[in-house]
A and B are shown apart, each in its own frame.
Chain A
């Protein structure tokens, strides 16, 4: 038996000794449980209300986070809008008119070709 084993053996014997000879606590008063329960009932707290209030405290975060997320997504996906100046408006208007004229003239030419071919 080496030194460590010897120490361990002594410790085990010590623990066994104090467990064997530990004093037993005196029995409680007969009405101790009743006394404790009576005090608890007397000062009964609204446990459920407190706990439910605590547990539902964070629920306001759900709609708030949904609104925030929607706002962020809308901001990201929104097309960039710039203010139009009078010059820009005139250029666009002219472009539309020109484009429309070309389209109508091409359309009438093609219509005539179709009629000719049909005949």
Chain B
């Protein structure tokens, strides 16, 4: 209890902490929100990209930060700001998936055709081609996972979040996180095996 209180007091007094900046935001300092944006936008952007792809990515990032701004008054000072922001990110990604569910198949075929029309890299080295090829495989492997499995795998293996924090973000027990992670990895491994990737 004492440790929590002292951590809060310390974070409140530290001029660069998220909590301190949030306090300024709540007093109407929008520039402080700009500092929070600069600090966290890369993680938000990367997560949204892995979950939703590049289509309309800027709009999604904007939606996340607008929701965060509107919800700042509800943010509990004892909570971790990054966890809270990841939760908003996950909600925005889920909303996006739901709204795009009807046209997903059409998008996939378009993406496939775009992938097939990747320009030839005759002048590039073999390593660069391999990198592009493997990036494409990982992206396609992630795309074929269910949204639940993909979310857990992206947050854990790509964003490096601990399982406990993922459980808090997604709102599921830690055991379920472990289970989903296991199945997601197995499915991705099978996909990569089928594409001739030996790990």
Contacts and interface: CB of A to CB of B under 8 A. Distances in A.
Interface stretch (A25-33, A64-72, A91-99): A25-33
B7 interface: no
B37 A14 contact: no
B26 A48 contact: yes
B30 A14 contact: no
Contacts of B185: 11, 14-15
B85 interface: no
Contacts of A82: none
A53 to B, nearest CB: 10
Contacts of B28: 44, 46-48
B174 interface: no
Interface stretch (A34-42, A73-81, A108-116): A34-42
* Dominant secondary structure at the B interface: helix
Contacts of A26: 49, 54, 57
Contacts of B62: 32, 35-36, 39
A12 B50 CA distance: 20
A22 B135 contact: yes
A21 interface: yes
A28 B137 CA distance: 24
Interface residues of B, number: 43
A25 B47 CA distance: 9
A4 to B, nearest CB: 13
Contacts of B54: 25-26
A87 interface: no
B98 interface: no
Most-contacted residue by chain B among A14, A19, A35, A39 (CB, 10 A): A14
B58 A40 contact: no
B65 A10 contact: no
B73 A21 contact: no
Contacts of B30: 37, 40-41, 44
A22 B47 CA distance: 11
Interface in B107-166: 131, 134-135, 137-139, 141-142, 157-158
Given A23-B138, A25-B49, A25-B54, A17 B34 contact: no
B50 to A, nearest CB: 7
A51 B24 CA distance: 12
A28 B45 contact: yes
A29 B66 CA distance: 16
A18 interface: yes
B101 interface: no
A41 B34 CA distance: 11
29 contacts: A14-B189, A14-B192, A17-B138, A17-B192, A18-B138, A18-B188, A23-B49, A23-B135, A25-B54, A28-B41, A28-B58, A32-B62, A33-B37, A33-B38, A37-B30, A37-B34, A37-B37, A39-B66, A40-B69, A41-B30, A44-B28, A44-B30, A47-B25, A47-B26, A47-B28, A47-B72, A48-B26, A48-B27, A50-B73
